[in-house]
Amino acid sequence: MVAAGPVAAEPAAIPPAPVIPLPPELDPDFYLPPADVVAATEPGAIIAARQVTIADFGVLPVEVDAWQVSYRSNNSRDEAIPAVATLIKPRGQAISPRKLLSVQLAEDSTAGYCAPSYALQHLSVAPVAGQIVVPAEFLFAQAALAQGWAVVVPDHQGPYSAYAAGPLAGRITLDGIRAATGFAPLEVGPDAPVGLYGYSGGSIATGHAAELHASYAPELKIVGAAEGGVGADLGAALTMANNQLTSGLVFAAVLGLTREYPDFATYLDQRLNPLGRGLMAVKSPLCVQYQSALLPFLDLTGMIGSDGNPLDDPPVAAMLDDTRMGKSVPDMPLFLWHSAWDEILPLAATDTLVDTYCRDPNTSLTYTRDHASEHIVAEVVGGPAALLWLRDRLDGVPAPQGCTTSDAGTMAATPGALSFLGDTLSAKFATFFGAPLGSR
């Protein structure tokens, strides 16, 4: 572990981004700084910063202060890479230091213009180009801003859109928090309490960040992590998706993983049949909406030439093992939830992960299986409960000791969840009439 050394920046010294935002593919100076500059920078240290305007679905500006930062991180082989995060501060007074929530949005795509840093900007075309998940999930980040917390949203798939590469995403997330705590205008110092939130593709980044915290960035004061629709085992997700409606989205994850695991990329290059090769070429530049819709019901394993189950072949097995959660027990309290009928990420894999964590007697974990939802609805009904739980952790309320697993008819019935959602929507509605978010 290398200690972070983020730079502090004064507001007057930070230039604005272009009024018409450029996607990463057209903005290499910011997104891909010279390799020697990145290598000479400490993990989490800021290389460049600029002011941006955040908007709902690229159209309606949100009344907050926001910046993008380019910073150094490491890939899963501990090689230096550039990373980008969006830092957002509500316009209101807060106890110093301001609390911080790192929100890992589900990018679930294989092109740079799908990344949160671009998709969240005013006049971004990402929502109409297929990135609908990031702008929709941003409501949960706005719920945090309405509490007066600062928010950091990392582009956790990295500079090459390595969708589903959890160890990479975990490092980028932790270094994004380092960058946020060292960025003076955000008003979040190194002693600030930090929470983690992520659902589905965002749970992959959140879960790996939680597991890596103790070894990679132990100086960060992470007080809790909330993960829903948990992507605990990619092999199990691929097996469940094979020949099913969700196979197009899972194939995108296969494509993303080739960008972080060279041996796996070589294996696929040698084994994919013509249909698989054609799909990789067609899907490479797509965001999540079109990744999901294009050619479902694929025989994913059938496209790979193998004498047996391709998931057992060494390059595939090694990648699946590296990306599987449960290698270490996170050193902060955990809140996990999953739909009992999840059609994308198997419930059994999350059950296994919980069992793994709970073998450690020091684990603090609350786990809920929601029985009135599927994958998407589970975030809508479970997200408010997760944010309420995180609010207690950020306020210094001790988490329950031990592990608790429960089955809920619907997590919308969690005490306080509906009122929390109502307060959030009211605060959001007021911004349409000029009220700054988080000014209460």
Residue type, 57: F
Count helices and strands in the chain by DSSP H and E runs? 15, 12
Which residues, 6 or more positions from 436, have their beta carbon under 8 angstroms from its beta carbon?
63, 64, 90, 91, 92
In 3-state terms, what secondary structure has residue 378? helix
How far apart CA 389 and CA 369 sit, in angstroms, is 16
In 3-state terms, what secondary structure has residue 205? helix
Give which of 363, 316, 311, 304 is closest to 336, Cα–Cα: 363
Residue with tokens 């980040």: 141
Give the per-residue pLDDT at 435: 79
> Which is the catalytic residue, given 200, 203, 339, 373?
200
Give the per-residue pLDDT at 439: 61
Domains of the chain, start order: 24-233+331-432 (3.40.50.1820), 241-322 (1.10.260.130)
Give which of 199, 99, 186 is closest to 156, Cα–Cα: 199
DSSP for residue 197: E
Which residues, 6 or more positions from 69, have their beta carbon under 8 angstroms from its beta carbon?
46, 47, 48, 49, 84, 85, 87, 179, 180, 183
Q: Which stretch of DSSP H or E encloses residue 74?
A: strand 65-74
Give which of 164, 199, 149 is closest to 378, Cα–Cα: 199
Give the per-residue pLDDT at 417: 86
Tokens of 273: 């049949």
Tokens of 6: 């983020």
> Which is the catalytic residue, given 70, 342, 364, 370?
342
**What is the pTM for the complete model shown?**
0.95
Query: Does the annotation mark 56 as catalytic?
Result: no
Is residue 249 a contact partner of residue 345, using CB atoms and an 8 Å limit?
Answer: no
234: Cα separation from own chain's centroid? 16
Residue type, 389: W
Q: What is the number of other CB atoms lying within 10 angstroms of the CB of residue 14?
A: 17
Query: Does the annotation mark 342 as catalytic?
Result: yes
- The CA-atom distances, in angstroms, between 52 and each of 14, 113, 368 are 10, 16, 37
Mean pLDDT per 10-residue segment, the chain (440 residues): 46 83 97 98 98 96 96 97 97 84 98 98 96 96 95 98 98 98 94 97 98 98 98 96 93 97 96 93 95 89 86 96 98 98 97 98 98 96 97 96 97 90 81 74
Tokens of 138: 């941003």
How far apart CA 427 and CA 440 sit, in angstroms, is 9
Give the per-residue pLDDT at 211: 98
Give the per-residue pLDDT at 240: 95
Query: In which order are the strands placed within the sheet that holds 334-339?
Result: 46-52, 65-74, 80-89, 150-154, 100-104, 194-199, 222-228, 334-339, 364-370, 402-408
CB pairs under 8 A, 24+ apart, for 419-424? 420/143, 420/384, 420/387, 420/388, 421/143, 421/384, 423/146, 424/139, 424/142, 424/143, 424/146, 424/384
Q: What is the number of other CB atoms lying within 10 angstroms of the CB of residue 135?
A: 20
108: Cα separation from own chain's centroid? 9
Q: What is the number of other CB atoms lying within 10 angstroms of the CB of residue 11?
A: 10
Pairing of strands 46-52, 222-228: unpaired
* Cα angle, residue 231 at apex, residues 226 and 235 outer, rounded to 5°: 160
Residue with tokens 């390059």: 315
> Which is the catalytic residue, given 122, 156, 338, 375?
375
DSSP for residue 54: B
Cα distance between the two ends of the chain? 39
